[in-house]
Chain A
Amino acid sequence: MSAADAVTVSIEVAVTPAVAFEVFTEDVDVWWQRGPRYRFLPPYAGVLRLERGVGGRLVHLRNADDTDPFVVGHVQVWEPPERLVFSWRLPNFAPHQTTEVELRFEPVAEGTRVTLTHRGWDGVPDAHPARHGHVGRAFVLFKGHWWADVLGAARRHAEAVRSEVDTGGGTS
């Protein structure tokens, strides 16, 4: 395995692991950024959904009525509030190409340390468009900063939800 097979990104979120796990999974469409940098297929909006439990799918629906959504991957481990693993394929992956994403939620003094590891990149050739020209350390930083942006969006949402609960506010 090369040093750039797996990219790990770790952040702290000021909510409990139970809240973090719930918000990261259930609210994925709310917090996951829109646009071509973050979503999978045109028009880069649509609906992202993570189906709960082992075997559940992470899907990107082009719109609410999409009956043939793009399947990013399938849940392999579902252990709330500690651990979640799902497979991960991009639309431009060949049929035999796949990667895996693992999320761990550990309690820390300030809330939860969320650690995401995206592994299996050794199986994606250097010239593959998913790499955007990056290999080795440059790819680790490229992918790492992308996941840092995505997790940062999840954190902002989780902490906003938490403060709504704390103050008894919210609209729903």
Chain B
Amino acid sequence: MTTGQVKPVPDGVHTVIAYLCLEGAAGAIDFYKKAFGATEKGARITDSTGRVGHAEIRIGDSTIMLADEHPELGFRSPLSLGGCPVLFMLNVPDVDAMVARAVSAGGQLTRPVENQFYGSRTGEITDPFGYRWYLSTHVEDVPEAELVRRAAEREKARRG
């Protein structure tokens, strides 16, 4: 139900917002600040034990919400689940610089930075909290015919 005068989706709110469940949310916020230049936006809500109930950060033009895990509510983090089925694309101006920055902040390089046939230069960081970030910089506009040719060449090379 909506009532008059309100915007059902307020200005500046994106349709999809990731909400990360973390073991050690406060440390993760610090990591995302150091690694990806995140800023903390909005209010951080914590309980008597320091457990984060809600926080919001901004990376580039995107908002990410996060909280500490609450296993009693079935809200569990990648570390406690022992894996993570989600990967975040992070589109940045300089993938080499940001991957280096993320590694020095404590991230693990899980795929090296290299050029991809489709015109992106990419690398992957797994953060200390179990989430994977696939960083990408657009380096080349590849025409459709060239894209098809490279894909075929790549497939051929793969089959040996």
Contacts and interface: CB of A to CB of B under 8 A. Distances in A.
Contact of A148 (B43, B48, B72): B43
A1 interface: yes
B48 A119 contact: yes
Most buried by A among B42, B43, B51, B54: B43
| Interface size band for B | 10 to 19
A5 B49 CA distance: 9
A4 B54 contact: no
Nearest to A144: B45
B56 to A, nearest CB: 10
B60 interface: no
B43 A11 contact: yes
A155 B14 CA distance: 23
Contacts of A148: 42-43, 45
Interface in A1-31: 1-12
A141 B42 contact: no
B70 interface: yes
Interface string B32-64: 000000001011111111010110000000000
B16 interface: no
Contact of B54 (A1, A5, A119, A141): A141
Contacts, number: 55
B45 A4 contact: no
Given A10-B43, A137-B70, A2 B54 contact: no
Contacts of B43: 9-11, 144, 147-148, 151-152
B46 to A, nearest CB: 4
Contact of A9 (B44, B49, B72): B44
Nearest to B72: A137
Given A141-B53, A145-B54, A5 B48 contact: yes
A5 B70 CA distance: 17
B73 interface: yes
B54 A8 contact: no
Interface in A103-126: 119
Contacts of A5: 48
A108 to B, nearest CB: 10
A6 B44 contact: no
Most buried by B among A119, A148, A152: A148
Contacts of B72: 137
A124 to B, nearest CB: 14
A11 B55 CA distance: 10
Contact of A2 (B40, B44, B48): B48
Contacts of B44: 9-11
A49 to B, nearest CB: 25
Given A141-B53, A144-B53, A144-B54, A8 B47 contact: yes
B73 A7 contact: no
Interface of B: 40, 42-49, 51, 53-54, 70, 72-73
Interface of A: 1-12, 119, 137, 140-141, 144-145, 147-148, 151-152
5 tightest Cβ-Cβ pairs between the two chains A and B: A144-B45, A148-B43, A6-B48, A8-B46, A3-B47
